[in-house]
Amino acid sequence: MFETLLYKNYDPRLNEKNKHRIFGKGHIGGKASGLSFAEEVLERYHEVFVKSIKIPESFFIATDYYQMFIDYNYLNDITEDTPYEEAEIRFKEAKFPSEYKQILYEILTKMNYPLAIRSSSLLEDNVKYSFAGKYYTTFIPNRGTMRERVNQLEKAIKEIYLSVYGPDAVAYRRKHAPGQKESMGVIVQQLIGSQKGIYFYPEVSGVGFSRNYRRWTDRIKIEDGVVRLVFGLGTKCTGRGYARIFSLTNLRLRPEGNNPREIAQNSQEAFDVLNLISGEVETYNINEVPQFLTYHNKINDIAQVYSKKENAIFDINMLNNNDIFNKYIFTFENFPRRHRGFFNIISKLFKYLEEEMGIAVDIEFTYDLEREEFYLLQARPLSSYESFRKVHIPKDIEDKCILLKGDRMITNGVLRNIRYILYVDHEVYSQYKDKYEIARIIGRLNKSIGDRYILVGPGRWGSSNPYLGVPVIYNEISNAAMIVELGIKNGDFMPELSYGTHFFADLDVDNILYMPVFDGYENNIFNEEWFKKGTYIDTAVKIFEGRFDAYLDGDKMIGYVISHEK
C-alpha cells in the first residue's frame, strides 16, 4: 500500500475558491474535501489535462449547520439505538431555522438547474473507511417558485441527515468507528446531464478505481485500474446491477467472456432518470421504452441489438428490432474505439491523483458522448485493502471433502476452522414469493449466530433485484467471514464478475473473502449433494455446523471451501 502524504493533512479552506462555496465554520466532510482536493490537483497539472476535465458547480454546507438543525428541532435525544422509524418521523417533521433557510435561498439564486444533493459526513471518505453507500445522495429538479425549490432542497437535506441513523450506517460505524461521533455536511451540486422530454440524466455515468483488487483473469494486474460504466444516472453504477467493466490496460477483456449470449445476459437494460415533473428517480428498461434511444445521436457508441435467433450482437439499425427475439442492450462495445480520449483522461487522472493523494483512488464521473465532456463528480481515497500474504493451497486438497471450488475474482485469503456455513437453497428461494423475508432471516442469523461464518447462496448477495439474488443489506451480512455466490445454470442466478460496487467496497474493508462458483463450469465445483443434507432452520435457509476451511489463491485464480467431515 501507499503511504498517505498530502491528502492526510489537506485543509480545504486553504483553497481560494472555497471561500465563496463553503457555508458554515465546521468541517465540510470527507466527500467535499476529496472533491476540493481533486480540483487543486487538476489546476496543478492544468497543462496535462488542458481543461479536459470539468467539475460541476458545487456548494458545501458544513457540519455546524447539521448541529444547528439538530438543536433547533430538539433531536439530540435520537441515538443509534433509536428505532429508525421513529427517527424518520421526527426528521420529516423537523423545520429549518431561519438562518439555515437563508443560505438555501442564497445557494438557489446561483443554481437554476437540476441538482444532486450529496452526503459529506465527518467520517465519510477517509483513508481507511469510505462509508460508501451508507449515506444518501438524492436528486431534485429544482423547478417552480423559489419557495417550491427551497422545499425540494430542504426535503433532500433532511433525507441525508436522517441517513446518519440508517441501519446500514449504524452497523458500519459500530464495526469500524465505535465511539466516534458522526456529523453530516452536505454538497449541493449541479446535476450533470441533459433534458430529454420530461426526464433529465447523463448519457454515461461511471465509477473508476486506480487499483483492481478483484480481477476476473490473471491477464489483468492489480495496478491496471478499472472503470464501470452505465447509461443514465450513476445510481445504477454502484449497485449490484449490470454495467460494462473495462480494465484500463486491456479494453477488450470482458468479465463475462465473448459469447454473445453471455454478453447479452450481463449487459445493462434498466437505467435511471430524474423525472422533472414528479421529482422522483424512475427506472426504465430500454426494451420497454426504446424511444429513449432516439434522444441520442451517438447511441451506437454504447448500445447494440442482441439476436437470440442468431446468438449474435449487431449495431442498431442493422436488424429489424420488431423481431420478438431481439433486444437492445448497453454493451459499450464501440465505446473504446470511438472515445479513446476518455480512457486517456482516466489514466492520467488516476496517475496524478494517486501521486498527490499518496494512496489508491476511487472516482465518480459522467461523460457526454456528443460533446465528449468529462465531469469529475467525486474523488476519494480507495479504502484500504490489506492483501493477504501468498496462499499455499494444500497439495492434497483434491482428496478432501470439497464443498465449493471457483476460478474467478479470487483474492488471497485463508480461513481455518470456521464453525458454521449458512446456506440458502436456490430451488426453494427461486419458488418463494417473499424473497425479502429470506434476506431478513439471514439478517437475524447474522446477529444471533455469535461467530463468523461462511455464507453461501444463489446469484448476487445484496442485489436490488431479488430475482438475481438475496436482497440483503450490509448490516445483515456484516459478520460473515466469507461470501460465496452460486451461479446456477438453469436459472437467473449468476454472480456479477465485477468490481466497483458498494457491496465489494464493504467486503474489502471488512476483510470478508469472496468467491463466485459457477455450477457446471470447468474448474468449478458446487457439491450440491452435500448441501442437500441437513434440515431447514427457516425458509430456504440451512445452517451446517462443523470444521470448514477456505483457501483462496489470487495469484493462480483458484479457491476452495472444504469440510473436515465427509
Kindly state the cell numbers that stand for 239: 449497485
Per the CB < 8 A criterion, the answer to whether 478 and 455 are in contact is no
CA nearest 541: which of 390, 435, 384? 435
Per-residue pLDDT of the chain (566 residues; tens, 9 = 90+): 334 446 778 899 988 889 999 999 999 999 999 999 999 999 999 888 878 999 999 999 999 999 999 999 999 999 999 999 999 999 999 999 999 999 999 999 999 999 999 999 988 867 667 677 788 899 999 999 999 999 999 999 999 999 999 988 898 898 888 888 899 999 999 999 999 999 999 999 999 999 887 777 778 888 889 999 999 999 998 877 789 999 998 999 888 888 899 899 889 999 999 999 999 999 999 999 999 999 999 999 999 999 998 999 999 876 566 676 789 999 999 999 999 999 999 999 999 999 998 888 999 999 999 999 999 999 988 865 555 567 889 989 988 999 999 988 778 899 999 999 999 999 999 999 999 999 999 999 999 998 899 999 998 898 878 988 999 988 899 899 999 999 887 666 777 655 556 677 777 777 889 999 999 889 999 999 999 998 999 889 999 999 999 999 988 889 999 999 86
Cβ-proximal residues to 117 (8 Å cutoff; 6+ apart), any chain: 136, 137, 138, 139, 140, 153, 156, 157, 160, 186, 187, 188, 189
User: pTM score, two decimals?
Assistant: 0.86
> How confident is the model at residue 498, as a pLDDT?
58
Whole-number Å distance between alpha carbons of 473 and 463: 9
Per the CB < 8 A criterion, the answer to whether 137 and 188 are in contact is no
Q: Cell 433525507: give the residue.
A: 159
> How confident is the model at residue 88, as a pLDDT?
97
Q: Cell 483458484: give the residue.
A: 558
Angle between helices 146-162 and 84-93 (to 10 degrees): 160
Whole-number Å distance between alpha carbons of 487 and 500: 20
Whole-number Å distance between alpha carbons of 353 and 421: 41
Cβ-proximal residues to 322 (8 Å cutoff; 6+ apart), any chain: none
CA angle 449/452/454 to nearest 5° reads: 100
Q: What is the DSSP string of 385-401?
A: --PPPPP---TTGGGSE
Angle between helices 340-357 and 30-44 (to 10 degrees): 110
Q: What is the DSSP string of 121-179?
A: ESSTT-SS---TTTS-EEEE---SSHHHHHHHHHHHHHHHHHGGGSHHHHHHHHHHSTT
